[in-house]
Structure 1
Amino acid sequence: MKITHLIAIAVIFVCTTLAWWFLGGIITHRTNHVAYQTGDSVSGRWGPPLLQKHPGARYTSSNNTRFAVPPTKSEVKVRLSYQPVKMGLLWHRTYGVAFEGHYTFTNSTAITQKFEIDVELPAGNTLLDKINFTLGQENTARRSVAAPENGVITDSVQLAPGESIPVTVSYECRGMDQWTYGFIDSSRIRDFSLTMNTDFGDVNFPISSPTERQETDKGMELVWKYEDAISAPGIAMEMPRELNAGPVASQISFYAPLSLLLFFGVIVVTTLSRGISLHPVNYFFLAAGFFAFPLLFSYMLDVVNVHLSFVIAAGLSLTLVCGYLRMAAGEFLFRVAVVAQSAYMVLFSYSFFFKGLTGLTLTIGGVVTLGVLMALTAKVNWSEKLGAMSPRLA
């Protein structure tokens, strides 16, 4: 192989790399544009990430001093229903929530006090349905009709010394990305439990982990319990991560040059060691066959499922590249190309579908490639193939 051929192959590789990066930039722009256009629309229809704060009560003493009173007992039940919405190349992690909280407030003072009980509802453009705020229970129950002010519903009740009153808060609403239950900083939380039921098993706790968990027929049942805690951490659930086609397609395009570099390396070494003649024009068509994969994959995503798009695009690229080599250089190079392209292009690109596997896949592929090439070329006389690298003595 002439040195000019190697230079020409290098130029083909660089030009293909630039084309891939340009394609990756276009895909990223399309994805961000769709996210910008649809993000507010989805948030407006489904609501933002939801935060439900722990309720509290307060009373005013005879000297006009206000005292905050936390619940003496809290039993909260939450049911999360994951309902993702796809718009363009992106999945939005939307969900429905049914909230029900049972709280008990106690007058621990020596005189009758007027307790003002505050329930802060989730903020933002959130539709709350089937809302219920009830004070007392059974025959003494009174459903509050107070209107929320700045997102807080407040109602009052007279409590004699040592008297307790149960309070029930429930509603249904929808949000996206994450649901959170928060406490006031440094507040003391007594006899608290929160039971969360999900219809999905891919659970992620960004703040605190549950004290109990078990699988159910539909998903998970998770329990958080605080007997007597100060500065208790909040409770949150992130919705499952969806496979977003846009970011995956752009990553495949940006990292595709690594696949082509390894593939070209295998083909160059194999042709040199086997005495097979390939012209730089042949490498141009091989690069074009590789480029067809992310190009077709990225533009099929609008109309075809992401996995099916990947299979079709990868199959077409394999047919173009390996079929061309079979016609141009014979059966042996065809077999080498099938294995190399399947490993470097298909498996490496598919690793982007799984978080954290890309680097490991590339490392393993590189090490295996090095070992195979070393074994195949250990007895090759490179001085004959490429010419002597040191001058001969006269």
Structure 2
Amino acid sequence: MKLTHLFSIAVIFVCTTVAWWLLGGIITQRTSQVSYQTGDSVSGRWGPSLLQKHPTARFIASNGSRVVLQPAKSDVKVQIAYQPVKMGLLWHRTYGVKFSGDYTFTNTTAITQTLNIDFDLPTGNTLLDKIHFSLGEGGGARRSVAAPQDGMITDTVQLAPGESIPVSVSYECRGMDFWSYAFADASRIRDFTLTMSTDFSDVNFPISSPTDRKPADKGMELVWKYEDAISAPGIGMEMPRELNAGPVAAQISFYAPLSLLLFFMVIIITAISRGVALHPVNYFFLAAGFFAFPLLFSYMLDVVPVHLSFGIAAAVSLLLVCGYLRAAAGGFLFRVAVVAQTAYMVLFSYSFFFKGLTGLTLTLGGIVTLGVLMALTAKVDWSQKLGAVSPRLA
């Protein structure tokens, strides 16, 4: 192969790389634009990430100081139903939550106290439904009619020394991405239990892990239990990660030059070792066939499911590249191209669907390629093929 041909192939590769990077930039811009346009719309309808604060009670001591009480006992139940919404190329991780909490407050002083019981509601543009807030139990229970002020329900009750009162709170609402439960800093939490039920098993705890977990119907049942804790960590649940087609398509386009580089290496070395003459124009058409894959994949995503789009785009590119190489160079290079393109383009690109596999896939592919090429060309006389001096065996 002439050096001018190698230079021409290098120019073709560079130009194709620039085109791929431009395509990746366009896909990223489209994705960002859709995210900006739809994010506020979805958040407005579903609400933001939800934070539920642990309730408190307060009273004024005889010396005029303000005293804050934590519940003596807490039994919280949370049901999360994952309901993702797709807008354009992006999935938004929306969910519905049913919250219920049974708390007990106790007057630990030696005199009768008037307690103001405060319960913070989730903040933000959140639709709260079926709100229930009651004090007492049995026939003596009364449902609070206090209207929320500044995102908080406050009601007043008078307790004798050592007297306790149960407080029950429940509501339903919707949010996005994340649900959390928080305690006041450095507070002492006693006899606290939170039981969370999910309808998904792909659970992620970014704050603290549960003390117990077990599979439930279509999901998990998770329990956080604190018997007597100071500065107890909060509790959180992150919604499952969805496969967003836009970022995947952009990554495939940005990293596509690596696939083409390995493919060209295999074809060039195989063609030289087999004495097959390929012109730079042939490599131009091969590069164009490779470029068709991310181009078709990225623009099919608007109307076709992501995995089906990937399969169709990959099949079209394989047909273009391998079919052309069969017509131009014969059956042997065709078989080599099918294996090489499937490995470097299809499998490598599909690794972007799985977090953390891309680097390993590329590394293994490069090592296997090196081993196969070394085995196939070990006995090739490169001085005859390329006109250079080859080492002589002793």
| TM-score, with structure 2 as normaliser | 0.98
The equivalent residue for 1:109 is 109
The equivalent residue for 2:239 is 239
The equivalent residue for 1:223 is 223
Q: 1:52 deviation in Å?
A: 0.1
Q: 1:63 deviation in Å?
A: 2.0
Mapping for residues 88-107 of structure 1, pairs under 5 Å: 88-107=88-107
Q: Deviation per CA, 1:188-244, whole angstroms, max 9, x where unpaired?
A: 000000000000010000000001000012200000000000000000000000000
Mapping for residues 275-294 of structure 1, pairs under 5 Å: 275-294=275-294
The equivalent residue for 1:170 is 170
Q: 1:171 deviation in Å?
A: 0.2
One-letter code aligned to 1:364: L
| TM-score, with structure 1 as normaliser | 0.98
One-letter code aligned to 2:164: S
One-letter code aligned to 1:361: T
One-letter code aligned to 2:91: W
* 1:184 correspondence with 2:184: yes
Q: Deviation per CA, 1:58-109, whole angstroms, max 9, x where unpaired?
A: 1101221110000000000000000000000000000000000000000011
Mapping for residues 243-282 of structure 1, pairs under 5 Å: 243-282=243-282
Q: 1:147 deviation in Å?
A: 1.1
Unaligned runs of 5+ residues in structure 1 are: none
One-letter code aligned to 1:4: T
One-letter code aligned to 2:348: F
* 1:36 correspondence with 2:33: no
One-letter code aligned to 1:95: Y
| Identical columns (%) | 79
Residue 388 of structure 2 aligns to a residue in which SS?
A: coil
Mapping for residues 3-42 of structure 1, pairs under 5 Å: 3-42=3-42
Residue 233 of structure 1 aligns to a residue in which SS?
A: coil
Q: Deviation per CA, 1:93-150, whole angstroms, max 9, x where unpaired?
A: 0000000000000001101000000000100000000001110111111111111111
* 1:45 correspondence with 2:35: no
The equivalent residue for 2:201 is 201
The runs of at least 4 aligned residues of structure 1 exceeding 6 Å deviation read none
Distance 1:383 1:137 in 2: 95
Unaligned runs of 5+ residues in structure 2 are: none
The equivalent residue for 1:326 is 326
Residue 16 of structure 1 aligns to a residue in which SS?
A: helix
Distance 2:161 2:271 in 1: 93
Residue 332 of structure 2 aligns to a residue in which SS?
A: helix
Residue 225 of structure 2 aligns to a residue in which SS?
A: strand
The equivalent residue for 1:82 is 82
One-letter code aligned to 2:339: V
* 1:343 correspondence with 2:343: yes
Q: Deviation per CA, 1:260-296, whole angstroms, max 9, x where unpaired?
A: 0000000000001110110000000000000000000
Q: Deviation per CA, 1:269-327, whole angstroms, max 9, x where unpaired?
A: 00011101100000000000000000000000000000000000000000000000011
Q: 1:389 deviation in Å?
A: 4.7
The equivalent residue for 1:214 is 214
Distance 2:141 2:236 in 1: 31
Residue 249 of structure 1 aligns to a residue in which SS?
A: helix
One-letter code aligned to 1:20: W
